[in-house]
Structure 1
């Protein structure tokens, strides 16, 4: 018997983008052929897709790490790098994707429904794509971006039309077995069923699914027994059926008290998806009461006595026996009718188009705050400046000058001045800390000279990358000034 897994933590990592290529076309008798470096390929995405042939999250339990392919670097002669291969992960229908904090990211219902769990990194531009009026032959290229990396929680909520609830050994699994072709494990002791069992039932022209939910006892909504783990499988059920054991010999138990106890648990349970599928809370779902085991004379008498009490609550009551199969036909047609009424009232929603929210024009997209660890230092935060820093080759002065131009056009220079930054102030962007040098005239139109060189940096008393890194480590107290 395969193991049923309905909750896993999945670690996904999209592919890295390939680096751009810095190349110059070389041909005999054409020494200045111009830049021809291609762009790097984008990293592959990690995608979750609903597959009707997948019924459990077992594969992710044993293989919790998923990684897409990296993009290839660009090459000369304007050859772009190959795109990274996307990773397609098949998940069961009814899978809910959340963060570790419980925030819902996606509700995957319906065959073919997709969710991009992690976006691949963008490939870096080659020097052929960086040509401008000031840089006619760039001697640098942009680095590829890292792919998105996330920890996701996948939870499976069974997509069943009818959910059977009841105390352990009430006969839920037996009812599934006689109404459908499912063959669940059945025995006369508590918690025989450790996983929800699904079956398909044919009622006239209506076909619906039925599921028994194990482990519901008083206190289930607070975590007692197995109820809290499986109550979520009821969230998408259109109809709830109380299966009552009328032949129980346990002291202090009777059909009415059993149903009242479980009704209290259903009312106390708060679904993770409020208003899931438009059904409302569990306490508002249509109910039927199934009085089981009437093949036993005492149970038949008890069922006849309590049927009127349940009828006064407005719930249809059915007296059945899963052994003799008495009363199953009326129950099947009644459930089929309730499911049919629900489907008429709740037609399948049309697939929603993806919503694209463009960034408002003129939005700065960054913030500048004082560095709490370095006196006089500042931290620049924002998606664009952090991405640009990650794309920069800091051992190439021309690339550093290009970064300065980009930051100046974004408004970072002006904001640092407004915040009172002094020349040489430590500025941290992402994982890079450098000394701010406004004297390089960032953003100015400067004619570039040799490849890989920015004349604005040549005329500054600018230390190399290794020295800047050492100075940063000294400021943070990681090494002494004399250490290399």
Structure 2
């Protein structure tokens, strides 16, 4: 069974808002107490939060569908419906959230406690008590609650570490991270022992940094061979790359220089890693033949501008010098990092006189109306209630849609689509209707009779 998952597709659904209530207060000796319908409760949100105690997306691999609670419907006696409970999903530090359809990065979650509202709950509908006015003293309708957001996102984990250990399988990366830190990865004498990235915390003098052991790379890893393509993303956040080179390998066609060139080629093919400082570690110096080979290739690697360290993860030879060299590179990278300015919230209010909607002619006597307000009002309307439909007509006329349609050339009987052309609401426009309804029986509108 899988124990580490660093990429999942998650289906999330926020809660729907509760419907408002249409109610009239009734009490002994007070038969006409007025409207007292409460508002519907707001739907719950789906939130993502960075949890430092979470290191994998395994839970979402097993349960990829998550839904927040719906808001409750309003009730009589001015009782509002309860708000739907939010659902909080814990994710590891370094989780990138993408839109599954477009691939757009929605947010990069870094830092313990960082939160992101992935899906927002729908607003609750107003009850008839909130809809009462001087012209409509006892509304016989209430507004419907809005649906919560529903979307499909990709969660992708990119390990947050300072140093990435890269190299061929069985080069000794797991042994090195175990020798440098308190991490205890699985170690064995066969390739691909490490199947998941391991993190270790290293202290060198006053510098404390994290080291990531990336599973072994092979030729073609950047195109999907072996495990490398799945885990190369974990190198992206690291500020320093350390090549761990096996000087004791007996595989035909392999030597330290060839291994180094192959791994460099794979990093270059993956992209976006050229600016990371590097150093080379020639491992397994406790084997006499490996030590001789390390002494031979060190000058050749130094010609490439590499700092080279000969070590033995088994005997801990050279590890102190290596840890301080890594600490020096990490400190330099941290010092060169620009100071992050506090996030500023830019508020751009709507310009005075700017319309809340747009009207465009689609074809002969067919018009489309788009805008946040009219589209939201449509979703809130109960079309089985004539008075609610009349109230919608009043709202649309009040913001100037009737006038805009006339100016656009619409005539009696024109087809008007509010929202998208595929999923919007279609109406036959009747400009001769009165602008305001007269008070009549509850639930009815004299313009629609």
> TM range, normalised to the smaller chain?
over 0.9
Matched, 1:129 2:130: yes
Q: Name the CA distance, whole Å, in 1 between partners of 2:282 and 2:289.
A: 13
Q: Give the Å deviation of 1:454.
A: 1.9
Matched, 1:299 2:290: yes
Aligned match of 1:157: 158
Q: Name the CA distance, whole Å, in 2 between partners of 1:39 and 1:115.
A: 27
Matched, 1:380 2:373: no
Deviation string for 1:145-191 (max 9, x for gaps)?
00000100000000111100111111111111111222222223332
Q: Name the CA distance, whole Å, in 2 between partners of 1:2 and 1:451.
A: 61
Q: Name the CA distance, whole Å, in 2 between partners of 1:329 and 1:445.
A: 84
Gaps of 5+ in 1: 271-280, 459-484
Aligned match of 2:239: 238
Secondary structure of the corresponding residue to residue 191 of structure 2: coil
Aligned match of 1:46: 46
Q: Show the 5 A alignment for 1:396-411.
A: 396-411=385-400
Aligned match of 1:433: 426
Q: Give the Å deviation of 1:50.
A: 0.4
Aligned match of 1:454: 445
Let me know the Cα RMSD of the aligned residues: 2.2
Q: Name the CA distance, whole Å, in 2 between partners of 1:264 and 1:435.
A: 64
Aligned match of 2:320: 329
- CA change 1:360–1:94 in 2 (3 A) is farther
Q: Show the 5 A alignment for 1:14-53.
A: 14-53=14-53
Q: Name the CA distance, whole Å, in 1 between partners of 2:57 and 2:291.
A: 42
Q: Give the Å deviation of 1:410.
A: 3.1
- CA change 1:63–1:238 in 2 (3 A) is same
Are the counterparts in 2 of residues 37 and 78 from structure 1 also a CA contact under 8 Å? yes
- CA change 1:355–1:52 in 2 (3 A) is farther
Decide which of 390, 404, 411 is 1:415's aligned counterpart: 404
Are the counterparts in 1 of residues 97 and 154 from structure 2 also a CA contact under 8 Å? yes
Q: Show the 5 A alignment for 1:185-334.
A: 185-270=186-271, 281-334=272-325
Q: Name the CA distance, whole Å, in 2 between partners of 1:317 and 1:232.
A: 25
Q: Name the CA distance, whole Å, in 1 between partners of 2:257 and 2:350.
A: 59
Are the counterparts in 2 of residues 17 and 120 from structure 1 also a CA contact under 8 Å? yes
Q: Give the Å deviation of 1:91.
A: 0.5
Aligned match of 1:3: 3
Secondary structure of the corresponding residue to residue 432 of structure 2: helix
TM-score (norm 1): 0.86
Q: Name the CA distance, whole Å, in 2 between partners of 1:224 and 1:379.
A: 51
Secondary structure of the corresponding residue to residue 209 of structure 1: strand
Greater Cα shift, 34-43 or 199-208: 199-208
Aligned match of 2:76: 76
Aligned match of 2:60: 60
Aligned match of 2:96: 96
Greater Cα shift, 363-372 or 1-10: 363-372
Secondary structure of the corresponding residue to residue 93 of structure 1: coil
Secondary structure of the corresponding residue to residue 268 of structure 1: helix
Q: Name the CA distance, whole Å, in 1 between partners of 2:347 and 2:148.
A: 21
Q: Give the Å deviation of 1:353.
A: 5.0
Q: Name the CA distance, whole Å, in 2 between partners of 1:365 and 1:260.
A: 60
Secondary structure of the corresponding residue to residue 294 of structure 1: coil
Secondary structure of the corresponding residue to residue 439 of structure 1: coil
TM-score (norm 2): 0.93
Are the counterparts in 1 of residues 202 and 209 from structure 2 also a CA contact under 8 Å? yes
- CA change 1:107–1:28 in 2 (3 A) is same
Q: Give the Å deviation of 1:245.
A: 0.9
Q: Give the Å deviation of 1:122.
A: 0.2
Aligned match of 1:276: none
Are the counterparts in 2 of residues 263 and 283 from structure 1 also a CA contact under 8 Å? no
Are the counterparts in 1 of residues 394 and 436 from structure 2 also a CA contact under 8 Å? no
Q: Name the CA distance, whole Å, in 2 between partners of 1:415 and 1:218.
A: 64
